[in-house]
């Protein structure tokens, strides 16, 4: 097994061009487990932890561009005002030791359906900035995940950054697991209110081969809020509408039975999480109005 | 592969390192620092907690090559040779050590907590130590020890 330790982003892209089989390694909280247990023996590792270009974030024109190497600890400490949903989800990741190492780019690259950062990024309308030695391109996050642990990255490409619109309304995230810390989601759900566009964004985790938006549920609840002009009045959302929203979110999922939960449980829990996060976010919206 | 890293203030050299080796393995098996414990090798138990450039990490999840040229502090390096750090004294005084296997990781994690938050509340202590498992389940005394360590740090 070879190891490449580039000192700059351009050098990393050159390495990846010459050795497309090399596996990127950032915080190591996923890949090192597979190495320690002998489950992965890549031909080569590409260490990304020395790249200053990946380590920071900046805000420009209503968007936050987060370097792929930014850790969950940094997301929590620095980005809660701009990206509250992502910050809530980040607080549920692992333990302090894990959050100090695990990176946002790693969460995307690992492409687990259970990745905690993925539902809030979907709900917020994030894009992934990927680059190769030849070019850079942006991919809408919902098109980035193909299957469990499979992404739209092509040979020679690395994740450079995640670009997320700054929150224009309340955001929520909720996750079910067997304990409060150090736990992978049985299901998770993220919701973002977009009062400016009169839209509601959603993200479903751990209930399909890839993280998903519940677009039918988004259209439905957006229609209810518009029809009754609730965005302006701030009146409560009618109970049948939030119940229907929960049903549509559950229907959008494609869960499986596994060690963490059953199909029936996951659908039921998703409907509950969807109603609950909608109620929390709407309550925040009304009290801010 | 040869690696050079600073461990507890000393620059050390490890030879014949395999590219896939963890920092924990290199510390324990190549550099004579067995204080950090090897239990789960998947970041669940916290027994291998060390500082890497001042940040609390699980050394089992750091590729040793990633630590090249960086500064590592292990439980052995918290106090001077032959001495105990006040956090270690607090664990002894509170009876927070049973089998002792989780203790080094808990000591380092507690050291990090008190450095960041000198007067942690109980929920903050639980959150900070959520990644450190004690299979003797001696958490009551461990929490006592953390409170005692914070008090000692505040009055010293």
Binned at pLDDT 50, 70 and 90, residue B156 comes out as confident
Rounded distance, CA B84 to CA B76, Å?
9
pLDDT of A154-181, one tens digit each? 999 999 999 999 999 999 999 999 988 8
Q: What pLDDT is stored for residue A181 in this prediction?
A: 86
- Of B18, B43, B68, nearest to A97 by CB-CB distance is B43
Contact call for residues B91 and B145 (beta carbons, < 8 A): yes
Q: Give the nearest chain A residue to B50 (CA atoms).
A: A97
* A100 Cβ contact partners less than 8 Å away, ≥ 6 residues apart: A71, A72, A73, B55, B56, B57
Mean pLDDT along residues B1-5: 97
Stretch B96-109: mean pLDDT: 97
Domains of chain B, residue spans: 3-77, 86-155
Provide the pLDDT for residue A30: 97
Give the pLDDT band (50/70/90) at residue B56: very high
Q: How far is A38 from chain B (nearest CA, A)?
A: 10
Does the beta-carbon distance from B65 to A32 stay under 8 Å?
no
- Containing B10, the helix (H) or strand (E) segment is strand B10-14
Please indicate, yes or no, if residue A29 is contained in any of the structural domains: yes
Give mean pLDDT, residues B14-37: 97
Q: What is the pLDDT of residue A267?
A: 98
- A152's CB contacts (< 8 A; 6+ apart) are A139, A143, A144, A145, A146
List of chain B residues whose C-beta atoms are within 8 Å of the C-beta of residue A27: 61
Instruction: State residue A75's pLDDT score.
Output: 98
For A181-235, write each residue's pLDDT tens digit.
Answer: 889 999 999 999 999 999 999 999 999 999 999 999 999 999 999 999 999 999 9
Residue window 224-263, chain A: list those with CB within 8 Å of chain B.
none
**Cα-trace Rg, chain A:** 19
Residue A16, pLDDT > 80, answer: yes
* Set of chain B residues whose Cβ sits within 8 Å of the Cβ of A97: 43, 46, 49, 56-58, 61, 109, 131
Per-residue pLDDT tens digits for A230-263: 999 999 999 999 999 999 999 999 999 999 999 9
Query: Thinking of the domain B86-155, which architecture would CATH place it in?
Result: Orthogonal Bundle (1.10)
Class of the CATH domain delimited by B3-77: alpha beta
Per-residue pLDDT, averaged over B120-144, amounts to 96
Whether the per-residue pLDDT at B69 is higher than 80: the answer is yes
Let me know how long chain B is: 156
Residue A111, in any domain of the structure: no
Domain end position, chosen among A46, A65, A83:
A46
pLDDT at residue A214, as a whole number: 98
Whether residue A74 has pLDDT greater than 80: yes
**What is the chain A residue with the closest CA to B62?**
A28
Instruction: Tell me the average pLDDT of chain B.
Output: 97
Across B94-110, average pLDDT: 97
In sequence order, the β-bridge partners of residue B57 are B50
CB A16 within 8 A of CB A157: yes
Give the residue numbers spanning the domain of A227: 171-288
Q: What percent of chain A has pLDDT over 70?
A: 100
Task: Place B81 in a pLDDT band, splitting at 50, 70 and 90.
Answer: confident
Domains identified in chain A, total number: 2
pLDDT at position B50: 98
Contact flag B66-A49 (C-beta cutoff 8 Å): yes
- Examine residue A2 and state whether it is found in any structural domain, yes or no: yes
Of the candidates B18, B41, B109, the beta carbon closest to that of A36 is on: B41
Interface of B with A (CB under 8 A): 1, 18-20, 22, 41-44, 46, 49, 55-58, 60-63, 65-66, 68, 109, 112, 127-128, 130-132
Read off the pLDDT band of A83 (50, 70, 90).
very high
| CB-CB neighbours of B156 under 10 Å | 6
The confidence score (pLDDT) of residue A96 equals: 98
Instruction: Say if residue A275's pLDDT is above 90.
Output: yes
What are the two backbone dihedrals, phi and then psi, of residue B18, each rounded to the nearest 5 degrees? -75, 145
CB pairs under 8 A between A and B: 91
| Single pTM value for the model | 0.97
Confirm or reject contact between A35 and chain B (CB < 8 A). yes
The pLDDT tens digits for A21-44 are: 999 999 999 999 999 999 999 999
Closest CA to B36 of B18, A221, B25: B25
Chain B residues within 8 A of A177 when measuring between CB atoms: none
Helices (H), chain A: 9-18, 31-36, 72-78, 84-91, 96-101, 104-110, 118-124, 141-144, 215-227, 230-233, 239-252, 263-288
Q: Report the residue of B26, B49, B52, B61 to disrupt the A interface, i.e. the one with the largest count of A CBs within 10 Å.
A: B61
Is residue A186 within 8 Å of A269, Cβ to Cβ? yes
Task: Say if residues A119 and A107 touch (Cβ distance below 8 Å).
Answer: no
Bridge partner residues of A96 (DSSP)? none
Distance from CA of A97 to the nearest CA of B (A): 4
Average pLDDT, chain A: 97
pLDDT class of B80 with cuts at 50, 70, 90: confident
Residues of A whose CB is below 8 A from B43? 29, 32-33, 94-95, 97-98
The pLDDT assigned to A289 comes to 72
Q: What average pLDDT score do residues A96-105 get?
A: 98
How close B74 gets to chain A, by Cα (Å)?
14
């Amino acid at each position: 097994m070879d190891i490449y330790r580039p000192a700059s982003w351009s050098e990393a892209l050159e390495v990846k061009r010459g050795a497309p089989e090399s596996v990127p390694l950032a915080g190591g909280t996923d890949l090192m487990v597979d190495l320690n247990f002998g489950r992965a023996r890549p031909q080569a590792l590409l260490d990304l932890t020395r790249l200053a270009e990946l380590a920071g974030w900046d805000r420009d024109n209503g968007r936050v561009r987060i370097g792929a190497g930014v850790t969950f600890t940094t997301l929590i400490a620095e980005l809660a005002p701009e990206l509250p949903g992502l910050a809530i989800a980040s607080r549920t990741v692992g333990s302090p030791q894990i959050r100090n190492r695990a990176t946002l780019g790693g969460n995307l690259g690992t492409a687990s359906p259970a990745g905690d950062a993925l539902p809030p990024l979907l709900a917020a309308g994030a894009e992934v900035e990927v680059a190769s030695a030849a070019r850079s391109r942006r991919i809408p996050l919902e098109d980035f995940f193909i299957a469990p642990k499979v992404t739209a990255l092509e040979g020679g490409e690395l994740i450079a950054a995640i670009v997320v619109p700054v929150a224009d309304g309340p955001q929520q995230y909720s996750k079910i697991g067997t304990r409060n810390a150090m736990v992978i989601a049985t299901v998770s759900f993220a919701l973002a209110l977009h009062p400016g566009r009169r839209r509601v964004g959603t993200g479903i985790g751990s209930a399909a081969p890839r993280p998903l938006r519940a677009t039918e549920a988004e259209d439905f609840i957006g229609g209810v809020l518009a029809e009754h002009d609730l965005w302006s009045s701030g009146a409560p959302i009618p109970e049948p509408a939030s119940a229907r929203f929960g049903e549509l979110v559950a229907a959008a999922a494609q869960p499986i039975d596994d060690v963490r939960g059953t199909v029936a449980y996951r659908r039921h829990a998703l409907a509950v999480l969807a109603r609950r996060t909608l109620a929390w976010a709407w309550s925040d919206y009304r009290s801010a109005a | 592969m040869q690696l050079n890293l600073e461990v507890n203030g000393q620059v050390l050299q490890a030879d014949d390192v395999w590219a896939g080796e963890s920092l924990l393995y290199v510390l324990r098996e190549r550099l004579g620092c067995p204080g950090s414990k090897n239990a789960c090798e998947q970041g669940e138990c916290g027994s291998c907690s060390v500082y890497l450039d001042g940040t609390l990490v699980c050394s089992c999840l750091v590729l040793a090559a990633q630590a090249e040229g960086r500064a590592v502090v292990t439980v052995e390096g918290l106090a001077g040779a032959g001495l105990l750090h006040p956090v270690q004294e607090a664990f002894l005084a509170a009876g927070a050590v049973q089998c002792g296997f989780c203790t080094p990781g808990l000591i380092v994690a507690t050291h990090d907590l008190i450095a960041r938050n000198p007067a942690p509340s109980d929920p903050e202590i639980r959150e900070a130590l959520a990644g450190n498992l004690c299979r003797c389940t001696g958490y009551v005394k461990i929490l006592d020890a953390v409170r005692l360590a914070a008090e000692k740090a505040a009055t010293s």
